[in-house]
Amino acid sequence: MPSLYEIALTLVPGVGAVTARTLLENVGDAESIFKSSFAELTAIPGVGPKTAESIRSKDCLAQAEKELAFVEKFKIKTLFYTSEEYPWRLRNCYDAPILLYYKGNAELNGSRVISVVGTRSATAYGRELTEKLIDDLASYDVLVISGLAYGIDGIAHKACLKHQIPTVGVVGHGLDRIYPAQHRSLAEKMLACGGILTEFPSGTKPDRENFPKRNRIVAGLADATIIVEAAKNGGALITAELANSYDRDVFAFPGRVNDQFSSGCNHLVKTNRANLITEAKDIAYLMGWETKDAGKLKPQLELSLNLAPEEEKIVAVLKNQDALSIDEIFSLTQISPGKLAMHLLSLEMAGVLTALPGKRYKTVG
């Protein structure tokens, strides 16, 4: 059940995400904030007299009552910063919204969440890349986040619906409308296999300044952000920069050097702000993922692959082990470091081994 006070906290003039968190840390909960005295509020670091007066006036409570009626009428979930349902990845971001409005059924705290973004003016190249990427991601049990915009965003959402991959659109307005209007039908279909999410209350228009705020949610919700096709001055690059600031992985597809719609992706790779990828397998490799069918595939791989004698030796020492470091594998196999690194990479790319943090390896399955 959404709280009137939680909604009201987001409507107080001058209280953004950072100040709201400071208030919660010092007072405890949203209701207690509104019941605090002027002196108690101004004693909190970062809360001045003007903000304290705005809270004490309780003018926002009347507005919150209307919003509460709206979310109850249309069965919209409110995810407050301190609730268990609030996306934990986003909570770890310093500027995470205090409250989210969500309509849908996708699990926002799933084990694998990625964001796919790009230019609104997608070329045939960008469309093909996006559709192939989503098709290949179907075996990795992921949730796909995007911004429901024209171009790459819309293509990604549609491809997810086609392949029955849950997908969530983050919008820069209230849930009383859909922007762009042409994506209303798409948004309705996404409610059955994903959802629509925003930090903005009903009545909020899709104003220009809302989209950078929207982009931080797109980046913050995910383990990694994938830039498919983007110009240097596009919103996708803002999302990439935000993902980097949150210490999340960023991946980008390269394009021709003279293509303006790929100039942003090429720039991200050139300046080490993104890892270059050419297919979904690159993401899985860099993220250390196994497919849903990895365990089933293992016996087939072992039967069908013609392993070199040294590769067979590596697999033999790793069998029935949780994981071994590269130094431990060297000690047990006595294969020279150069050859060992080459064999480990070859076995990993073949799907026989999985790389773990700390240069540790284990067999798949």
By three-state DSSP, how is residue 44 classified?
coil
Residue 18: half-sphere exposure toward Cβ, Cα within 13 Å: 6
How high is the pLDDT of residue 351?
80
**Average pLDDT across the chain, whole number:** 90
What domains can be seen in the chain, in order of their start residue? Answer: 1-72 (1.10.150.20), 113-287 (3.40.50.450), 294-363 (1.10.10.10)
Quick one: which of 266, 270, 273 has its CA closest to 246? 273
What is the spatial distance between Cα 282 and Cα 158, in angstroms, rounded to a whole number? 22
Is residue 358's pLDDT more than 90? Answer: no
CA distances from 288 to 62, 87, 220, 222, 272 (A): 49, 22, 20, 15, 20
Q: Which value, in Å, is the radius of gyration of the alpha carbons in the chain?
A: 24
User: Is pLDDT at 360 greater than 90 in this prediction?
Assistant: no
pTM: 0.79
Q: Work out whether strand 99-104 and strand 77-80 pair parallel, antiparallel, or are unpaired.
A: antiparallel
- Give pLDDT, residue 352: 86
pLDDT band at 292 (very low <50, low <70, confident <90, very high): low
Task: Say what the pLDDT of residue 297 is.
Answer: 41
Mean pLDDT in residue range 350-356: 82
